[in-house]
Structure 1
Amino acid sequence: MTRIGAYLRLMRPANIVTAIADIMMGYAASGALLSLAIWESGTFSVSEFSPLFWLILSTIGLYGGGVVFNDVFDADLDRVERPERPIPSGRATVGGASLLGGVLLAGGIVAAWQVSLLSALLALAVAVCALVYDWKGKHHPVLGPINMGSCRGGNLLLGMSAVPAAVEQFWYLALIPIVYIAAITMVSRGEVHGGNIQALKGAVLLYALVILAIISLALLPQFNVLYSIPFLLLFGYLIFPPLFKAMPTKEPRLVIKAVKAGVLALIVMNASLAAGFAGWEYGLLVLLLLPVSVYIARSFAVT
């Protein structure tokens, strides 16, 4: 691996694609698509999508910076448990990674500022949550998963901030990724030494809760659950089998596969929500990020 490749690996490119799906889903929930002239006149203008583009750039910086600092704070531990990672292997340095992470986080906040002050404040909140998790949060058995989930919830709200009023109206949608990411974080703690059966069972319950929560959005006049159902079926197919397979053995190898499946399935979860708010066509557009993420995951680690 080249030095540039090592720093790219620190950013977890495949995971960044899942963060873009968060933004696209939040953008759909904001109702921004309904106000675009393209739907009214059939014309297309790139400038109409500028808030979405800026917010995507923002999440690339925020997520990339957050996971880079994860390896910075874990450098000593990784020398024992993950010596193949870029920093302990010597292909990247703590100083270089810290500089990269700082630039990415700052860039994410600046990009969000191009949309609105609210977007910038949300980006700042996501950056702080990420740093707190990397520093101390990950070591707390209860608050750690919630802390990690809050980063994703904040990212969804960031996408929604394209229409600031939507954040106040639909803020509770952030609870869905918070619960889902909390479940993945619980499972991921068994990547090195093997899974905890209680954590794996708890993840099954939380996954089911997420699916029920999405279906319950049918109560909203803005959400068409019929468009969401096909995506939810695919979502369940992707997340449950790897988890059930890891339960009997609790082998680290199978736990890693369950975590990887959960992370990549974030795109499908977002697609199900996006379809409900903006139609199956837009949901399919979000879903197309999945093969992109899977392809990148062949070259770069997800966990």
Structure 2
Amino acid sequence: MWPRIMGFLRLMRPANLPTAGADILAGAAIAGAVSTQYAFTLNTALSDIVILFFASVALYAGGVILNDFFDADLDSIERPERAIPSGLVGKQEALIFGLFWLLLGVFLAFLVNQNAAIIAAGLAFFIVLYDALAKKNAFTGALTMGVCRGLNLLLGISILGTLSAWHLAVIPVLYIFAITLISQGEVHGGNKRHLMYAGIIYVSVILIVLYVVNAQESLNGTTIGTLALFALVILIPWYKAYRTADPRLIKKAVVAGVLSIILLDVIFAASFGHISYAFFVLLLLPISIGLGSLFKVT
């Protein structure tokens, strides 16, 4: 029984789930749901933030489960240790399990407001589109995955029922586009052109975030330090992967990129909310790293 439970948990990529919830916390700050003057003072019901947090986690879980469902035949050759090809979880069981989490995510968003429900439904659509079709092509796969992450941030921004600063969703679109380009070399080695493009996008994201923080008049030790840390954590592994195109280094670059989403969200939280709120978002990082020591990120 325990191995099967672990198999279902592995399908959900537990280490990645806090990064999805971090987007919601960042989005809530961007929307103005967090006071910029007082620590942990909210301009919305705490329950709405909690519900959207778990809606995002559910949607992410459903997405990665269905990813393994659609990849089951390929994984039997390239990743036989995964839950489905190893026999721990049946393929149809994974399908039902994944759809359950997607539907739960949309339902939870519906409890908050109509805009959140529409965005969650759109996110579920793009998740399935990526898993079933888009990822078969390098460009469409990376773009669709980026759109999914942008919609996830937008889900957080929708918490007050409006979509103020919706354009900031382009930042996770670009960032995840880059990570997805890198990840396409995890098994057989990297395409150096894709890795180069990813590096250019990484630098672009860093500069855009710097511009956004400055526009918010939030350039201070916290935001500058976090942005510098974010840049180092993603660029150093990327450069090592780019030099060699080695699958092992590519996997490390992907893991660093995924976990660093939380640092990006910390910057948003500090710029649009309060520093203590940003620290709370940062606490998700050690949780994610700890889960990463127990479960694979990719």
TM range (shorter): over 0.9
Secondary structure of the residue that 2:186 maps to in structure 1? coil
Name the residue aligned to 1:173: 168
CA distance in 1: counterparts of 2:268 and 2:204, whole angstroms: 15
2:241 is paired with a residue whose SS is helix
Give the corresponding residue for 1:197: 192
Match of 1:16 in 2: 17
Q: CA deviation at 1:274?
A: 1.2
CA distance in 2, matches of 1:97, 1:141: 25
Q: Which runs of 4+ in 1 moved over 4 A?
A: 42-45
Aligned equivalent of 1:207: 202
Q: Distance in 1 between matches of 2:150 and 2:159?
A: 15
**Given the alignment of the two structures, is residue 225 of structure 1 paired with residue 225 of structure 2, yes or no?**
no
Residue 33 of structure 1 aligns to a residue in which SS? coil
| Number of residue pairs aligned between Structure 1 and Structure 2 | 295
Equivalent AA in structure 1 for residue 218 of structure 2? N
- State how 1:48-197 maps to structure 2 within 5 Å: 48-165=45-162, 167=163, 169-197=164-192
Q: Which deviates further from its counterpart, 210-219 or 93-102?
A: 210-219
1:28 maps onto 2:29 in alignment: yes
Q: Deviations over 1:28-73 (max 9, x none)?
A: 10101129xx94xx9989x930110110110111000000000000
Counterparts of 1:284 and 1:199 in 2: how far apart (Å)? 34
2: CA distance, partners of 1:43 / 1:121: 28
Shift of 1:116: 0.3
Deviations 1:232-268 (A, max 9, x none): 0110121011111112221111110010110001111
Matches for 1:256-295 after TM superposition, within 5 Å: 256-295=251-290
> What is the distance in 2 between the residues matched to 1:65 and 1:87?
15
Q: Which residue of 241, 244, 249 maps to 1:254? A: 249
Contact 2:34 2:40 in 1 (8 A): no
Deviation per residue, 1:91-142 (Å, 9 max, x gap): 0111111111111001001100110011011100111100000001111221
2: CA distance, partners of 1:302 / 1:197: 23
- Cα distance in 1 for partners of 2:23, 2:84 equals 29
What's the offset of the Cα at 1:219?
5.4
Amino acid in structure 2 at the alignment position of 1:32: A
The residue identity in structure 2 corresponding to 1:49 is L
Q: Is the 8 A contact 1:16 1:64 kept in 2?
A: yes
| Stretches of structure 2 lacking an aligned partner (at least 5 in a row) | none
Which residue type is aligned with residue 33 of structure 1?
V
CA distance in 1, matches of 2:170, 2:106: 22
State the alpha-carbon separation in 1 of the partners of residues 203 and 279 from structure 2. 22
- Which of the two has greater helix per residue? 1
Q: How big is the shift at 1:228?
A: 1.8
Root-mean-square deviation (CA), in Å? 1.8
- Other-structure match for 1:296: 291
CA contact (8 A) 2:34 2:41 kept: no
Identity %: 42
Comparing 139-148 and 18-27, the one that deviates more: 139-148
Question: In 2 relative to 1, CA 163–198 (structure 1 residues): closer, same or farther, beyond 3 Å?
Answer: same
